[in-house]
Chain A
Amino acid sequence: MAPHVEALPPSIGGNHTLGSVVDSIGDIATCVKPHPREWYIVFAAGFAMFGMFAVAVTYLLTMGTGIWGINVPSAWGFAIINFVWWIGIGHAGTLISAILLLLHQRWRTSINRFAEAMTIFAVMCAGVFPLLHMGRPWLAYWLFPFPNNFAMWPQFRSPLAWDVFAVSTYFTVSVVFWYVGLIPDFAVLRDSSPTKIQKWVYGMLSMGWRGSAYHWRRYEKVYLILAGISTPLVFSVHSIVSFDFAVAIVPLWHATIFPPFFVIGAIFSGFAMVLVLAIPLRKWYHLEDFITDWHIDNCAKVMLATGMMVSYGYFSEVWMAWYSHSEYEWGTSKQRMFGPYGWSFWCLIFCNFIVPQVLWVKKWRMNSIILFTVSIVALIGMWFERYVIVITLTREYIPSTWGRYAPTVWDWATFIGTFGMFFTFFMLFVRYVPMISMTEIRELLPKKSGGRDGHASAEGPP
């Protein structure tokens, strides 16, 4: 059977030219187009929550981590749940920008820029939690190997030390990747901004980019290699995050399934977040030509596929616990499903396995409201997944070490506060930075409109 290569829908709707792409996207960032009312509402709400975050952190630094619900045996609590959740969300941004680039998925172009921004802000939110959980965050630099006179070095055989390097590298590389992608777009804004200040700021940010063919050739190469190294990086980061758990000998944590299971879960929740952001953004800013139904549909399909993979993980965990005949594995599994926190396990099965099944139906997938709701539910479900894993500490080997865990109002305030941080930064990004790559979209335009049909970047003789 011949494959339906020609059947792919166009990645850009409407009749765009090189100039109209700049007008449609750049004019949002340069504020030539007025921002919709929703921008102000989301920004105000985000900023208010960010304020709550500031209060929660101030109180925490004054009083210490005792204001949180953490205890022994459950010493990690919300801090690590939220850390893993946020960093997982970030991974979809890298997946879209790097892996889909390597796989020649042209639909990524419309969503990679804001997905990368999402990555950066999500990693910032994630990083807050381990820092605060240290209790004395002002000593965070002790995590890095710096010459000091108390004979103290990091212990490089601990996954927690790997995590420091993984997450800080991930953040730095994400920023570099994002910024390299932005340089030509900043140059576009420099040349199209109406005011002098904008011209100056975007001019500085663009590094004086002028679009020389020599520069483009080097640029495309750097961009491609950055995609190439970000791909293993994203897998390594969440694998290392999973090692934080898997290297411990806690039953149900000490499992080889953890790295792939964590990575897939990260992609699942990340795509859910991409949809949560993309569906309203394209409506508010009328970007339906660039983020078409096809893009949304593709994201939904990725979500369905990864949702099924994490569900396989849940099944496999229980199966292996039973099949292994390990008393502790199976006992902890029963506690997980029917113990005091059993409700959270069934919540996660409902959110991550049952609800995403509606995405099998194309009509429902294409319905923004249903898809938006499913994405929110998936985000909640993935949060519960980490909750279920972390809460395992309250029911492990010996009943004498069993305990209970309940978050306090300060746990919630910090967690909800990071949403404020995320949305504050994200809305500022939407306002001042082109949220879709104008450069790559123009490359995707058909040849008759001045584009290259998306085949402009190959190196070497044609």
Chain B
Amino acid sequence: MSAPATGSKLFCLLAEYDNPDALVVAIKKTKEAGYTKIDGYSPYGVAEIADALGFVKSEMATVMLCGGLVGATSAFIMQWYLNAVDYPLNVAGRAVSDPVGWLEGWPSFIPVTFEGGILTCALSGLFGLLAVCGLPRPHHPLFNAPKFEAATRDKFFLTVEAADPKFDLHATKEFLLGLQPQSVVEVPE
């Protein structure tokens, strides 16, 4: 129960496990004990960890759907405006002679509409993912823990943040040690 080595503010307590099932059990117990600012870390996505944390459904589908709809709509309006309003073109009898009569030519606008929707859907997926996850963040406090390098290799971690209302260095550490981790370390801010 020593103080953080650097003497600076504590970010979290980090408990280490060597398989995902043990981590899932530990998270469930930590949650039952009333902790709220907890997280699980794994080298690959494990559905049960997120379920145990209560994060059952992500918001990304909504983000990508909205992104795709915006792109598809813009692509369609753009084509209609360019080829029917700003510079009306009659090609091969597929006339778009006046702004109101655009329906005559609309099927040939579909391919670009589709591609526009796919493009913005994918881009909103990438940038939305980064934004919602708060990435890029190359200097997160967790990287201060040397053991945490194994989180991308073969270890599974549980964190309880110091910002948790129920957090008490001594009591929380005792509690975590009771969950059969391989180790518990203090991670400075």
| A211/B56 contact (C-beta < 8 A), A19-B154, A158-B91, A191-B153 known | no
Contact for B50 among A151, A154, A214, CB less than 8 A: A214
In contact, B152 and A156 (Cβ under 8 angstroms): no
Which residue of B is nearest A173, CB measured?
B122
In contact, B47 and A456 (Cβ under 8 angstroms): yes
Residue from A157, A172, A211, A461 having most chain B Cβ neighbours under 10 A = A211
How many of B's residues come within 8 Å of A, CB to CB? Answer: 73
A434-462 vs B, CB cutoff 8 Å, 1 = contact: the mask equals 00000110110001001110011111111
> Any chain B CB within 8 A of the CB of A145?
yes
Q: A156-B112, A162-B111, A220-B47 are in contact. List 20 more A-B contacts (CB 8 A).
A: A17-B154, A157-B83, A157-B91, A162-B112, A165-B75, A165-B112, A165-B116, A169-B115, A173-B118, A188-B153, A192-B152, A192-B153, A210-B41, A213-B45, A216-B45, A216-B46, A222-B128, A236-B118, A450-B154, A451-B44
In contact, B53 and A153 (Cβ under 8 angstroms): no
Query: Closest CB-CB distance, A224 to chain B, in whole Å?
Result: 9
> Any chain A CB within 8 A of the CB of B82?
yes
Query: Closest CB-CB distance, A213 to chain B, in whole Å?
Result: 4
A192-225 vs B, CB cutoff 8 Å, 1 = contact: the mask equals 1000000000011001111111111111111001
In contact, B45 and A225 (Cβ under 8 angstroms): no
User: Interface of chain B, helix or strand or loop or mixed?
Assistant: helix
In contact, A450 and B19 (Cβ under 8 angstroms): yes
Contact for A232 among B42, B50, B118, B132, CB less than 8 A: B118
Q: Return 30 A-B CB contacts under 8 Å, by A number.
A: A153-B82, A153-B83, A157-B94, A157-B105, A159-B111, A165-B116, A177-B122, A184-B43, A191-B150, A191-B151, A191-B152, A207-B136, A208-B138, A208-B139, A210-B140, A211-B151, A212-B39, A213-B40, A213-B46, A214-B53, A216-B50, A217-B58, A218-B58, A219-B133, A220-B58, A225-B64, A439-B43, A451-B44, A452-B46, A458-B47
B94-135 vs A, CB cutoff 8 Å, 1 = contact: the mask equals 100000000001001101101110110111011011101101
